[in-house]
């Protein structure tokens, strides 16, 4: 990682890996900090690294959420191999991409475009007015969507062989203050939100089927 100041040595440390339950709890807490669906964040982690916080791609993406060094620096990640630091950087990136989409009516609310921007950068999505015609990015979007529809679970086993592109590289927005703890945001109990989450996922599945990303199960 191209670290800031004296953090270079820390960036090379590999903290102890979390177990599956701890990783799921981390992803759930981080998602709530930015009003994201934990299942979507879990699906991204599954495809990116298979839940391995020590993963390094052939192109240099690092950690659980496979952040490129420039993206990690942009979103205030000191140690990409620290699962907490890495996941918080990823949710900052996704939050930025959601706000970026909101400013682009042609992209607003399109999960495929958001995932493509996470993988290839928002400039590539802007250039092609949607998912760019990169085979790697097209396959990535499809895999994350399928993992999301299946619940975004974190499997045991080897990390994904997915080779991440150079992430978002536009001029960064002003950095928000770093969260030092993953305290639950005030609000309804997670169980009370389950129906709404399932409804949103079902609606997204219909949208993805309409766009041709997945096959529709209607009538089966």
Q: Which two tokens stand for residue 36?
A: 């994201």
Task: Match 């993963």 to its residue by tokens.
Answer: 55
Give the span between the Cα atoms of 128 and 48, in whole angstroms.
23
* 218 in catalytic set: no
Task: Match 């669906």 to its residue by tokens.
Answer: 37
From the list 22, 48, 126, 204, the catalytic residue is 48
Q: Please, what's the b/e burial string for 16-34 (b: 16 or more CB within 10 A of its CB; e: otherwise)?
A: eebeeeebbebbbbbbbbb
3-state secondary structure 23-56: HHHHHHHHHHHCCCCHHHHHHHHHHHHCCCCCCE
Contacts of 193 (CB under 8 A, 6+ apart): none
Is the Cα torsion angle 155, 88, 78, 164 positive or negative in sign? positive
Catalytic residue numbers? 48
């Amino acid at each position: 990682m191209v670290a800031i100041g004296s953090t270079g040595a820390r960036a090379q440390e590999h903290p102890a890996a979390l177990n599956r339950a701890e990783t799921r709890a981390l992803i759930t807490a981080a998602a709530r900090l930015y009003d994201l669906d934990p299942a979507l964040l879990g699906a991204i982690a599954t495809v990116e690294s298979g839940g391995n916080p020590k993963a390094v791609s052939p192109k240099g993406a690092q950690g659980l959420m496979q952040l490129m060094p420039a993206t990690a620096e942009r979103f205030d990640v000191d140690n990409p191999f620290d699962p907490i630091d890495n996941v918080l950087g990823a949710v900052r990136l996704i939050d930025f991409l959601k706000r970026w989409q909101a400013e682009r009516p042609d992209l607003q609310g399109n999960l495929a475009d958001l995932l493509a921007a996470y993988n290839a950068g928002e400039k590539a999505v802007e250039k092609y007015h949607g998912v760019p015609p990169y085979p790697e990015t097209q396959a990535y979007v499809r895999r994350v969507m399928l993992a999301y529809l299946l619940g975004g679970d974190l499997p045991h086993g080897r990390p994904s062989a997915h080779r991440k592109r150079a992430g978002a590289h536009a001029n960064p927005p002003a950095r928000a203050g770093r969260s030092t703890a993953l305290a639950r945001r005030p609000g309804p109990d997670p169980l009370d939100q389950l129906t709404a989450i399932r409804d949103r996922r079902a609606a997204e599945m219909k949208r993805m089927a309409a766009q041709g990303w997945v096959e529709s199960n209607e009538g089966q």
